[in-house]
Structure 1
Amino acid sequence: MNSSKQFLLSSVTLAVLTLMNQAAQAQDATPPAAAPAKDSVAAELQQVVVTGVAASRGVRKLDSAFSITTASEEQLKQASPSSTADVMKLVPGVYAEATGGQSGANIEVRGFPSGSDSPFVSVQMQGNPIYPVPTLSFFEGSSAFRLDDTIERVEVLRGGPSTIFSSGQPGATMNFILKKGTDTPEGSIRFTAGTGELRRVDLYYGGKIGDGWYGSVGGFYRTAHGVRDAGFPADDGHQITATLTRKLDQGELTLYTRSTSDKNAFYTGVPLISANEGRSISAFPGFDPLKGTLMSGEMRRFTLEAAPGKTLTYDLGDGRGLKGNVFGAEFDQTFSGWTVSNKFNRFDADMNTIAMFTGNNPLTMGAYKAAAIASANGNAATLAAAGRPATSATATFTNGGGAVSDSTQVVQAGLWAVEKKLKSFTDELRVSREWMQGNTVTVGAYFASYSSDDVWYLGNSHLMTAVPNASLINVKLNNGVVVSNNGTDGNVFYAPNASYDGSNTAFYVSNEWKVNERIKVDAGARRERQKIDGSVSNLVSADTDNNPLTVYNNGTSMPNGAYTALGRKDTASSFTIGGNYKLSKDASVFARANTGHTFITFDDLRNAGSQKAVDDRSGLPTPKIKQLEVGFKTVGELYSAYINAFHTEFDGIAFQQILSNGSILNSTSGSKGNGLEWEVSVRPVRNLTLTLTGDYQKSEYKDNPATEGKTVQRQPKLQFRFTPTYKIPLGEDNSVKLYGTYTKIGERWADQANLQYLPSYRTLDLGALFSLGDKIELRLAATNVNNELGLTEGNSRLSSGNSGPINARPLFGRAVEGSLLYRF
């Protein structure tokens, strides 16, 4: 059944249930004891947000002069996010490619040009960035955070005053707020099982410890083979989080800590068939694109040749994991008209990437042999060592399975190892005072110190069959040349060792003026200085076994023992001004303008290669961002609406792309864009809510002749989510809530040149929550029910599009999970 029919059937079902419930209520003379719809509306009316505001007490969401999306614990559960990055599907104007698994997502923000990872998304916990730099190579902020039942809610601020506060992120700030202990003790235990042999348990308990003291503790343990079963656990790990709160006279102090040890398989492209210049995508023969992965137990533990006499063994099961700790504190105190707040945290983690990265597109074994013969015969050193040209080749399975026929489809994929150790300390101090009636001034300081120690081994190409859980292949030529040994058919082409250190210091001032009961305006300015230094190994190419006949390891990249020291200092300013006008008690309009920036990162130092290139401001500029937005907000019993229009301008955004042969493409571009975002909910009848969220944008590159006028990569012009939710009361304390989400993601381009086309796709998610009193909950959820074959990424190792066999990364296939929760 196609997605449109399934969605129609679900909608009809909800409509029938609605009518049945209304009829039952009409026959029931006893009025309900409470009105859940009114209760939820009241809660939304009073909802306070704390992200992006000067005052630690926060501001009512309806009165905020910026675009912000919030999600409660229940809304997060209902969305069934597959990872932290996947939470962003709740946010209009943001497109998250979460098909890599728990870590390593690509997140694009409304019109902000980015090629991969999430340079314009900062992830915070309790209002402080977990790591102050949102993205480095093989790291993006959402990878440093795991979802569990210790989270109370999330707030996602887009643009707005975020250019002034905290790390000064001009894009989106995702702030997770933890549960804290209260006067009423509460606890829960949740068991979850699902597709891919998912087994998980979540625990939480919080309450009063003593007079003025409160605490909470919780966490999870989980193991799963994943929707794409590689034959070994894709996810295996645990986490524990604790808070300790001290209530003060007109203030509060909270300490929190989180320890995570989680291993997560990282999924990249799989073989597919592309037709009509990428407009039509279909399954590759013998490969299920929704559930298959090339990874297998045969290659799980792989060996790479790092230098003469030096071999290293890694485990694909480690994937893109997180093994680290966060410790932080937040303090807020008011005295004699002054309000002082301080937030700090310390982050220390190993965030390694041990994963497969696809290379060239699929081809036949015969075509691979012909290319291998031509390459070997065209290499003078190899030909001289062999003594004669090769005229034939033999291919055999490494597992002893015999010869590989010439008609067998094969692919090449690199088994990469990146060891990355991150450390950081951040602190933000704010002092506020109302110096005249309705006018509050806030001054603040932000400091961040951070480091990254990297050891990379990129390349290490392996030859394998183009089937799920692939088998490795050996290839030898009849003149003695070894093309593939134990499946390895390519060298390590890029192997830098590097250590980096950075620090950021910022000072800011913000003024908020309540002109009258209807008008409120605010403005702010920030001045920030960044200093970064790096020590990057110089590289040479060498043959690890000094045998020119073993072509798979010739020209291996390795450090030569010398290092290049690089460093740079930058300063930049940011500004914001905005205002909110109340049309009525629960409706308002707002407008905001801001300018912001990003700084160059550690990777820019490495890529530049020399201090002269680092200092070249035209080659490595400080990117500048301008944003304008106007919006409307209202909440009532029948509907809620948050609608805003935006305009963005960018200058000096640097891009990098690592190709399958190890070469690196660098470019600098600007962009401009306009768009409309919306979050609208309608409550036409009791217990039924219809929600529509999404955005339409038109964003294109500028300032670079190679990409001028091209659509900003990876971002759809149109995307939306339609979510009907219906609650059926069953007696006094029991109920069933049915919900579903129909998602449409428009067409996109995978690259800046707009050569790799990514078609639009539509998915359907369904769920049901059975509440038995206030103690027991049973939840059933299914994602991608219609098994939509949608692509989130093309072949990022190639610089142009293709028809025929390709590698690309599709959505996960249908996944179902059930959980049982008990509260105590």
Structure 2
Amino acid sequence: MKLKYLLLAAAVAFPASAYAEDAGAAKDTQVEAGSSPSADAAQPTKRAFTTGVARGRDLLDSAISTSSLDESEIQKFAPRSVSEIFRNIPGMRSEAYAGEGYSSISIRGLPIALGGAKFLQLQEDGLPVLEFGDIAFGNADQFLRADLTLSQVQAIRGGSASTFSSNSPGGVINLISKTGEEEGGAVELTTGLDYETYRMDFDYGGKITDTLRFNIGGFYRQGEGPRATGYDAYKGGQFKFNLTKTFEGGYVRLYGKFLDDKSPNYSSAPLRVTGTNADPKYSTVPGFDPRQDTMYSRYLPSNLSMNENNQFTRYDYTDGMHSKVKSIGGEAQFEIGDWTVTERFRYADISGSFRGTFLAPSLTGPASVVTGIWGGPGAVLSYANGPLAGQVITSPSTLNGNGLVSSTTLFDADLNDLTNVTNDIRASRVWNVGGGKLTATAGFYKAAQTINTTWHFSSVFQEVKGDGQAALLNLTSAAGVPLTLNGFYGFGSTFFGNSRRSIYDTDYSVNAPYASLNYHVGALAIGGSIRYDFGTARGQVFGADLGGGRTGITSYDVNGDGVISAAETRVAIYPLTRPAPVNYNYDYLSYSLGVNYRLADDMSVFARYSRGGRANADRILFSNYINATDGSLARKDAAYDPVTQAEAGVKYRGQDAELYVTGFFAKTKEHNIGLDRSYRAYGVELEGSIKKGPFRLNAGATYTKAEITKDALVAATVGNTPKHQADLIFQVTPQIETERFTIGANFLGTTSSYAGDNDGLKMPGYTLVNGFVQYRVTDRVQLSVNANNLFNKLAIIEAQDTTIPATGIVQARTANGRTVSASLRFDF
């Protein structure tokens, strides 16, 4: 399979033997990002933006909405993951609860149906990390890490993102690496002051010759992490390098990345809730605080389940989210006559695993309720392992001071192969026409994405206990019949009706020619772009959920004692002789039209209308959208989901202040497992900054009204606000910087939202405060202290229950509690 990808790459990657600079240095670019102001000191600095556009251009001459975060600012936010960085981009809804991946990310009211980043694309150095940002258990952010090699994060919202990237109608977030322009490097040592983490980052770059430069860097870290697991849940690192050769008219760059990193997935945990659905009061349960505790435990070292060959296997649960990437790529630009050609290519061998705990709604609660559901009247609990192994729990109602028992599903998936190969080639030319400049761009995008994953869930009982010490529990019937085996009630998704034991073995191809025209004369810039995506989905899937006589449960002597116990009758297997094919094609058209008018040197107005799409991948398999007999589309409209958007705004950029105000409107269709919907959203987005002497303030806010306008499956949701959609989200970062000191805070807030699409249970709004202090001991030595969630706010980001259950216990995902870290940085 990978040989096929390499042959494909060789055929399209380097169509010419001359290379040159990237789009940010195209001849019509006003001034490159990071360059000096013009000779006229009265004029504000012009900045180029190159993500999701044809060519770099000053933002006040472009009909787009963008944001940029520099490395120096990102470090102050105290992010514990890349999704926490994204929270500081206006318009961005980044549900950063899960750790180093598996975050739900959206933009401008576009829905988050089943997690991931569906309608926007996460990129690294101008190419997607994965073609689809919401692959189940393999979301794109899981394979991204921020370290000292990161130069900048650029984001484009709406606009031309629809036509200059595939599967990105909502926008693009691009992590841009350092490439050795600045001579020197840095080493940074970081430790947690109130949690266990030890990390080293390094970066170094510079010139080898006048025309050859390089950059290398990465990180390594180890420790338990921000929440208690009972073991080192964080372990691994990243190494990146690039080499750039410049010459007259351009450059060629080779780069690579090696990532091998383990981190936990902070999933749902029990919270007590009182009050009403409209006005709930949430609180932690005794002995367990989800801000600092998890359902991971030193007593949950393994999952036992059938592998993809129906062989019983032990899986190391301390792996958590194990992300592995080996990638190599190149980018170049060269000139052919008056045309500037830009080429980008990357081959990424991506794999790993996902091992996390999931607490089923209404199935985790008071011990008497849980034992009654699964063991019947009079069922008895005992410890399956830990220091009290074998001891009967005589007072379940007072267990650990909370009396709770968790029916835990072990969400366990092997990400066997998520290989991604991408090539993007484009050519641009500028003509002088009628006193203005006409810029034409044409390109072709080619990508291949493998999705080969195996899901092997299991079901266990746990006590609800913090500090990584939750033991597994055994359940015995009133008649003395053991219903569990070493804490395992079933070796499948027993608590979910034995559903979703799945194997995906699929390949997706993406092809997209695209073109744009932009005419800039005087104060007016008007342009349009178009893209035609067409692709294929090929492969096969396995699972009893496909029906047609496919079975998924058997009996198996797990412990080899010659006796089949009750738990051993609940062993899930794959119907390996009955695969369902995946075999369909799709195509859709995207376009974008925009106009910008420069009212003055420091102000412009713009408007844009766009239509884009997102091809659906694994999320529509195992559904009635795909014919399980021949793999064709049973519903052709399910192959992709269109997004139409309109936006208009004003931009102001002065010497000491900037302000960008944009109104937006969007209509979206959504096809997913168990979903067939349409949405509408509108609102206004603000971004601004002020700088006076040592004081600086950056701020952003987004007001959104969103609505479900159609639901083919659950008509009662029509007219409701989509889940998790708050009316207002905001970010504010004030800071004071002197020669030696920088001190400031980063405020991140949201108003209330609904836990589900039924507009039932509300999740309260919250404001998280991150603080930072930097002291420059010398010009080359800096000491920093960063606090994330300084006031230890209980911030509920997601709740599994959509109404208050009778038990008064909901399963929720929360932000990390307070974590304080200290860093010592040496520059050289």
**Bin of the TM-score, shorter chain as denominator length:** 0.7 to 0.9
- Residue equivalent to 2:486: 486
Q: Distance in 2 between matches of 1:603 and 1:142?
A: 17
Instruction: Note the C-alpha offset of 1:518.
Output: 0.6
- Cα drift, residue 301 of structure 1: 2.5
1:439 shift after superposition: 0.3
* CA shift in 2, pair 1:510/1:525, >3 Å: same
Q: Distance in 2 between matches of 1:618 and 1:126?
A: 34
Matches within 5 A, 1:218-367: 218-278=217-277, 279-304=280-305, 310-361=311-362, 362-367=364-369
Distance 1:750 1:238 in 2: 35
Whether 1:196 aligns to 2:183 is no
| C-alpha displacement of 1:441 | 0.9
Q: Which moved more, 1:633-642 or 1:362-371?
A: 362-371
Q: CA deviation at 1:476?
A: 1.5
Counterpart secondary structure, 1:80:
coil
Q: Residue 489 of structure 1 aligns to a residue in which SS?
A: strand
Give the equivalent residue in structure 1 for 2:424: 428
In 2, the alpha carbon distance for the partners of 1:668 and 1:690 equals 43
How far apart are residue 613 of structure 1 and its match?
8.0
- Bigger drift between 756-765 and 503-512 goes to 756-765
Within a 5 Å distance, the mapping from 1:295-694 to structure 2 comes to 295-304=296-305, 310-361=311-362, 362-374=364-376, 392-399=379-386, 401=388, 402-404=391-393, 405-407=395-397, 408=399, 409-420=404-415, 421-437=417-433, 438-469=437-468, 470-492=470-492, 493=498, 494-514=500-520, 516-539=521-544, 540-545=551-556, 550-562=565-577, 563-608=579-624, 610-611=628-629, 614-617=632-635, 620=638, 622-651=640-669, 653-656=670-673, 666-683=674-691, 685-694=692-701
Distance 1:585 1:417, change over 3 A: same
Cα distance in 2 between the residues matched to 1:125 and 1:294: 33
Q: Is the 8 A contact 1:491 1:552 kept in 2?
A: yes
Give distance in 1, aligned partners of 2:725 and 2:38: 37
Q: Which amino acid aligns with 1:649?
A: K
CA distance in 1, matches of 2:150, 2:159: 24
Distance change in 2, residues 1:611/1:571 (3 Å): farther
Deviation string for 1:69-126 (max 9, x for gaps)?
1001111111222111111111111111111111111112211112211112211111
Kept after mapping to 2: 8 A contact 1:38/1:637: no
CA contact (8 A) 1:288 1:468 kept: no
Deviation at 1:262, TM superposition (A): 0.3
- 8 Å Cα contact 2:303/2:458 also seen in 1: no
Q: Deviations 1:204-259 (Å, cap 9, x if unpaired)?
A: 11111124111111111111211211011121111110011010211111111010
Letter in 1 for 2:369: A
Q: Is the 8 A contact 1:69 1:156 kept in 2?
A: yes
Hey, what's the Cα distance between the residues in 1 that align with 2:646 and 2:351?
39
Report the CA distance between 1:467 and its aligned residue: 4.4
Aligned in 2, Cα 1:190/1:210: closer, same or farther, shift over 3 Å?
same
| Residues 613 and 619 in structure 1, CA contact (< 8 A), matched pair in contact too | no
Q: Distance in 2 between matches of 1:334 and 1:246?
A: 15
Cα offset for 1:323? 1.1
Deviation at 1:186, TM superposition (A): 0.9
The 5 Å alignment of 1:85-164 reads 85-115=83-113, 116-164=115-163
Aligned partner of 1:818: which letter? A
| Conserved 8 A contact 1:308-1:543 | no
Measured in 1, the distance between the counterparts of 2:250 and 2:318 equals 46
Cα shift at 1:309:
8.8
Q: Distance in 1 between matches of 2:375 and 2:212?
A: 74
Is the 1:52–1:157 contact (alpha carbons within 8 Å) kept by the matching residues of 2? yes
* In structure 2, C-alpha distance between the alignment counterparts of 1:419 and 1:105, rounded to whole Å: 18
Q: Which amino acid aligns with 1:488?
A: F
1:165–1:508 contact (8 Å) kept in structure 2: yes
Taking only aligned residues, the RMSD between alpha carbons, in angstroms, comes to 2.4
SS in 1 for 2:419: strand
**CA 1:350–1:44 in structure 2 vs 1: closer, same or farther (change >3 Å)?**
farther
Unpaired segments ≥5 residues, structure 2: 1-35, 493-497, 545-550
Aligned residue in 1 for 2:9: none
Change (3 A) 1:410 1:391: closer
Q: Is the 8 A contact 1:305 1:553 kept in 2?
A: no
Residue 765 of structure 2 corresponds to residue 754 of structure 1? no
Aligned letter for 2:156? L
**Aligned-partner residue type, residue 413 of structure 2:** V
Q: Tell me which amino acid in the other structure corresponds to 2:642.
A: K
Shift in Å, 1:617: 2.2
Gaps in structure 1 of 5+ consecutive residues: 1-35, 375-389, 657-665, 730-734
Secondary structure class of the residue paired with 1:85:
helix
In structure 1, give the amino acid aligned to 2:127. Answer: N
The number of aligned residues is: 751
- 1:762 is displaced (CA, Å) by 1.4
Q: Calculate the TM-score normalised by the size of structure 2.
A: 0.87
Q: Distance in 1 between matches of 2:381 and 2:132?
A: 49
One of 780, 783, 792 as aligned partner of 1:778? 783
Instruction: State how far apart, in whole Å, the 1-side matches of 2:321 and 2:471 are.
Output: 23
Retained in 1: the 8 A contact 2:506–2:582? no
> Measured at CA, do residues 703 and 366 of structure 1 come closer, stay the same or move farther in structure 2, by a change above 3 Å?
closer
Structure 1 residues 285-323: Cα deviation after superposition (integer angstroms, max 9, x where no partner): 221232111211011233235699943212222111211
User: What is the rounded CA distance, in whole Å, between the counterparts of 2:703 and 2:80 in structure 1?
Assistant: 25
Partner SS, residue 124 of structure 1: strand
- Taking a change above 3 Å as real, the CA distance of residues 760 and 309 of structure 1, as seen in their structure-2 partners, is closer
Q: CA deviation at 1:202?
A: 0.8
Letter in 2 for 1:393: V
Give 2:812's aligned residue: 808
Give the percent of matched residue pairs that are identical in Structure 1 and Structure 2: 25
Between the aligned partners of 1:38 and 1:756, the Cα distance in structure 2 is 55
Q: Which moved more, 1:362-371 or 1:163-172?
A: 362-371
How far has the Cα of 1:166 moved from its partner?
Answer: 2.8
Residue by residue over 1:136-160, the C-alpha shift from the partner in whole angstroms, topping out at 9 and shown as x without a partner, is 1112111111111011111011111
**Partner Cα distance (2:444, 2:781) in 1:** 46
Against the structure 1 CA distance between its residues 780 and 216, is the aligned structure 2 distance closer, same or farther, given a 3 Å change threshold? Answer: same
Give the TM-score of the pair, scaled to structure 1: 0.87
1:48 aligns with 2:48: yes
Secondary structure of 1:574's aligned partner: strand
